[in-house]
Structure 1
Amino acid sequence: MSVEKPYVSLKAFLSKPDTEYDDLENFLSSGNYQNFELSGSENLSGRLYVKATEEKQPTWTPFINSGITGNLELSNRSSSAVLLIEVNDRVVAYTFGYGRFMLDQDRFLPDFGIRTALNTLRHDSLKSVDIFTVDRSAVQKRTQAVRSSSVDVFGIDVSKDILRAVTGNAKEGISFQSISGGDYVYSFSAYIEFEDLIETSQSLISYYTEESYKEQFSWVDNIRRLKNDTKKSELDEVLRAAIDVKNATDLAITAPEVVSWDKISGFSFTRSKDTVYPTLIIEDYLNSLGDDSITLNTLKNHKLFIYDLDSNEVQHSLYKSLYFEHTDASKTFILFSGDWFEIDNDFIVELDRALAQIQISDLEFPTVHNWTHEDKEKIESEGDYNERAAILKSYHLLDKKLIQSRTTTSAIELCDLMTDDKQLIHVKHKKGGSSGLSHLFAQGYVAAEVTISDREFRKKARIKLRSIRSDLDSLIPLNGISSSDYEVVYLVLGDDNSTVKSALPFFSKINLVKAYENLTQKGFKVTICGVAKERREPPASTDENEA
């Protein structure tokens, strides 16, 4: 009578090829660990490492104690273990509890989890997907389906979404169950005994090397991990230089994995460990650096600390927590979760072809003023520019005239400037980087769509127009409005018309094309325009809102 094998859930990591090591402990981050030899089969080579159990008091205990009679004494325990198996000249790590934080992730493949999952899952069995979207800001999202579904159900935009993790059912012939994979880690369940880990580890290596994912998931290579080490080094130097001069324009900081934000109490950094920030923003890290020059090793050695409500502390490499975008003469690269991603050339060609369809506006605008004040470069604020442009060109000023709509989460502007010819002009500084420009293109789309679809919004917009001039409400008729009567104009401050499209950050180009396609399908005309900077003497008052 055969004995049924135990049902086990495992999380696996695969070492990079040709990784040299003297001892299996080289695959772990620094720390003091107990280690255990493996028993059983002579063919099973490896070792188990365990971190001592820690007891911590939940952060909410003092608050509760302040309002009750007596004293509440509670503690939480966290356990961590890593099982390292040597097979086929590689090391497969199986982690338990918080064991993944014991690993030196630089020694493991950053795409093992996601690629192995895509090679072993049925494409129509997906239950959840995690994506990293580069839009108005870098966004991580997890979407779950009620039942097993194909990828198109999850609303993925293949032009700007990076697939980070998937969950689903195994393909026929694969014995694993409850499969999920994301970045470094591949998770699965199976009926196996301890000695089966040799065969299981060999299977994992084989599944990773397959390319069957391209049959249904070829789009994931639109934005793919960069493997050229020389180019990575060049990009790392560009990143280091941007941090050294504290240029946060195309730089952001984010948790390198999806976290439960309702369970997070705060964040801190290596240079300001005792200061716990309630929010996670790049400026707090840059300010913690002082005037010291930054090296790449500094970035990799610095830590982002994340604290949960039970006083547990999780730390991530600061380098792995950075988001950075860089475009050179031929390609665009982004850094996220410690990996450089390269944008597919064919994808860029298609994007440039779409950009070429967007015409330059015929409208004329004044240059944007800039000057030096107290050894710092200043540039005219958007608000000041809009007021000056309205006067010089007889445009109607609608900047900051917010209108509430039942179809938007917050009040919005009809536009910043408007002409008598029904041109809706939206204005944004280029210096705001990818995030600000992407917001500009989304703003123009949302305002135009709401104007056509929401009668109550039009009623309120007409009141705003009458406050400027009694007859201006005719520009937005209450009934019988037609999108073909309107032109949405995107005005970028800082680049002239000759470079306004080509000089856009990569993901801002994507958002411009998306806005253009959506608006023109609805009947709007869409154009873009740029104005260059002009050096002027400082204004009489330096207290005005310079950008």
Structure 2
Amino acid sequence: MPRPRSTTTPKTLYRFEGGLDLVDYLVSLTQHDIHENREVRIGEVTGRLVTGRFGSDQPEWAPFIQSITDVAVDLPSALPFAVLLVPMPPWTYAIACGSGHHLLDDQMMEQGFGLMFGIRRLDPDRLGTLARTALDATARHVETSFPGGSDIGGFDLERFGELVNRVGGLADLSGLTYDRDNAKPCRIKTSTSLTVPLARDPRDLLRDLAVIGEIVDRADDDSPLQFIGQIRAVKPGHPRYSELEQRLAEALGGDDRFGPLDVAWPANVVRAADDAYSFAVSGGGGALFAAPLEIGDVLGLLTAVPVEERVAEIARVRVTPCADDAGVEALAAATPLRKWVSFETTIDSVRYCYHHGGWVRIGEGFVEQLHNQVGGLLSRRSALSFPLWTPTGKQNDEHLYCRQAASQLGGIVLDRDLATTPLHKKFELCDLVGPSGEIVHVKWLGGAPAASHLLTQAQVSAESLRFEPEALVEFNRRVAVADPTLVKSDGPTTVVLAAAGRPWNVDRLFSLSQLSLLRLDQRMRRLGLRLEFADIPYVAKRKRSTLAA
């Protein structure tokens, strides 16, 4: 007996803000082989259907194969597509089939639309996949799958400091046509798009879209997955995007009305920036700055640029960390200035952060929650009492201070004494070993990059000592030379972050730095380590001179 035809079929759905002509949601169609591009009736609604194919004379990899084998590859291809646009004010929905998503203007689509559905309807105990990106200098991307399903705890998701991009699993589809005609649970995929069974009947399809819209637009206060939607990427199609770019442009001219601006090191040059003696600027007239690169240097490049051109200017101008004071010996590739800038602003109680050249939205109520948690963490103070740090202006200023501190504390200096393991060629185990065996990392916090470097140094050190036997053996050997009583067979149990230049105060830290702190504390606790903080008394630094261009 033939199997009865299903009343639904899985399709990928996108959502746009309504009110535009339907063709305005599509990219240019002129370069494609279009078969249909016309209005269609879907129940009581007039939509638009576009079908066709993407054609190619040969695959993009054909020249490589020919260059290696001298065999010409003649494999023309065609990728069929269809897009059905359905206006349902105040939204417009798009159903993409085949390669149809390539026709949609991704700058206009509602970011995280599918995730918002998933937060409200996915079963938190039967999730199948989860992909996320770390909001730190590494920009680490991780995707985890459980074919049999898992609760949210199984994914080891760090609720602070990770942007969830995609979630899939079994979902509650009550109210949709699928639920009416099927008793079996359904697996869906959610991201900016939503992959879910949709009705084949036109009127049922309209009802499905209406139900999906109601689900997405309702409050998610009762969902255990609510936290997933609190941090979201902000794309050009976002209704606040133009205002955010305008505020950034004003801040780049030295206007601090809308929030703090600081330097941030791009992920690809973190180590080079820390070793740099100068920073060479290409484009925008060029310049050469002594290390470290400071926000005043950036402002000096932009204050004369018209406000409406500043955001474009930081995309054109490039910065290169150099090993010499002449800006000749490059330590890393030139990187756009937009990746060297961090900015935060608040609109209608929502915090927005510009980081690594893109915007991130931190949800309502989350900033206060974050502030409270970091404030509690920073109250965990070390009992160590540090001497006054008077800057010398020399390249080895930090090392000179570490020697002074070790003498007063009765500790051991390991600053600049680099270790090597199979996983890490060169890294600092710590700057100081305290009188009770504490690992102490010392830094002058001149800005966000220094804080990021300090946290990264602490994390690499802690993980190496816990997971790499060679690191612990080397650490204990160096400690034993100076004071055998401080050697612990299982390694240190306390890590101290000691900072000068600014106090450990939650009001003085960027939101993304606060997220990184919470993530670091989580990792330390998993490693059996206690994280503590110390404020180093200091004399303020004098502004260092700018090198001649």
Same-fold call, TM cutoff 0.5: yes
Moved more, 234-243 or 164-173: 234-243
User: 1:482/1:187 Cα in 2 relative to 1: closer, same or farther (>3 Å)?
Assistant: closer
Contact 1:236 1:296 survives alignment (8 Å): no
The offset of 1:99, in angstroms, is 2.6
Distance (whole Å) between structure 2 residues aligned to residue 235 and residue 51 of structure 1 = 37
Partner residue of 2:414? Answer: 398
Distance (whole Å) between structure 2 residues aligned to residue 420 and residue 358 of structure 1 = 18
The offset of 1:418, in angstroms, is 3.6
Contact 1:12 1:187 survives alignment (8 Å): yes
Match of 1:169, SS? strand
Q: Does 1:347 align with 2:369?
A: yes
Match of 1:81, SS? strand
Partner residue of 2:187? Answer: 178
The offset of 1:39, in angstroms, is 5.5
Distance (whole Å) between structure 1 residues aligned to residue 71 and residue 108 of structure 2 = 50
Distance (whole Å) between structure 2 residues aligned to residue 92 and residue 427 of structure 1 = 54
Which residue identity is paired with 1:527? F
Partner residue of 2:119? Answer: 118
Post-superposition Cα deviations, 1:116-158, rounded to whole Å, max 9, x if no partner, equal: 1223322222110122332344333322113112211111122
Which residue identity is paired with 1:53? F
Match of 1:104, SS? coil
Partner residue of 1:74? Answer: 75
Contact 2:351 2:367 survives alignment (8 Å): no
Contact 1:431 1:494 survives alignment (8 Å): yes
Give me the identity figure in percent. Answer: 17
Partner residue of 2:442? Answer: 427
Partner residue of 1:389? Answer: 401
Q: Does 1:220 align with 2:220?
A: no
Partner residue of 1:24? Answer: 22
2:344 corresponds, among 326, 330, 340, to: 326
Post-superposition Cα deviations, 1:304-341, rounded to whole Å, max 9, x if no partner, equal: xxxxxxxxxxxxxx9x9999551569874225876633
TM-score by length of 1: 0.69
Contact 1:52 1:79 survives alignment (8 Å): yes
Contact 1:118 1:213 survives alignment (8 Å): no
Distance (whole Å) between structure 2 residues aligned to residue 9 and residue 437 of structure 1 = 47
Post-superposition Cα deviations, 1:277-326, rounded to whole Å, max 9, x if no partner, equal: xxxxxxxxx9xx999767489769x99xxxxxxxxxxxxxx9x9999551
Which residue identity is paired with 1:237? Q
TM-score by length of 2: 0.69
1:209 corresponds, among 214, 217, 225, to: 217
Partner residue of 1:37? Answer: 38
1:503 corresponds, among 474, 489, 508, to: 508
Distance (whole Å) between structure 1 residues aligned to residue 53 and residue 359 of structure 2 = 28
Matches of residues 115-264 of structure 1 in structure 2 within 5 Å? 115-171=116-172, 173=174, 174=176, 175=178, 177-183=186-192, 185-190=193-198, 192-193=200-201, 196-211=204-219, 214-220=222-228, 222-223=230-231, 234-240=243-249, 249-250=263-264
Q: Does 1:461 align with 2:475?
A: yes
Q: Does 1:95 align with 2:96?
A: yes
Which residue identity is paired with 2:379? Q
Contact 1:397 1:416 survives alignment (8 Å): yes
Contact 2:120 2:223 survives alignment (8 Å): no
Q: Which runs of 5+ in 1 are unaligned?
A: 255-270, 272-285, 304-317, 371-379
Contact 1:398 1:414 survives alignment (8 Å): yes
Contact 2:9 2:200 survives alignment (8 Å): yes
Q: Does 1:535 align with 2:547?
A: no
Number of residue pairs matched by the alignment: 465
Contact 2:406 2:432 survives alignment (8 Å): no
Q: Does 1:447 align with 2:461?
A: yes
Distance (whole Å) between structure 1 residues aligned to residue 368 and residue 224 of structure 2 = 18
Match of 1:20, SS? coil
The offset of 1:81, in angstroms, is 3.4
Post-superposition Cα deviations, 1:430-486, rounded to whole Å, max 9, x if no partner, equal: 35626x5245235325534654776643332244457xxxx415154264x6746xx
Distance (whole Å) between structure 1 residues aligned to residue 511 and residue 147 of structure 2 = 35
Partner residue of 1:362? Answer: 385
Match of 1:351, SS? helix
Partner residue of 2:532? Answer: 526
Partner residue of 1:306? Answer: none
Contact 1:167 1:179 survives alignment (8 Å): yes
Moved more, 320-329 or 501-510: 320-329
CA RMSD of aligned residues (A): 4.6
Partner residue of 1:488? Answer: 495
Which residue identity is paired with 1:333? Y
User: 1:252/1:189 Cα in 2 relative to 1: closer, same or farther (>3 Å)?
Assistant: farther
Which residue identity is paired with 1:363? F
Moved more, 165-174 or 439-448: 439-448
Contact 1:85 1:92 survives alignment (8 Å): yes
Match of 1:206, SS? helix
Distance (whole Å) between structure 2 residues aligned to residue 368 and residue 331 of structure 1 = 38
Contact 2:115 2:229 survives alignment (8 Å): no
The offset of 1:401, in angstroms, is 2.8
Which residue identity is paired with 1:102? L
Contact 1:416 1:425 survives alignment (8 Å): yes
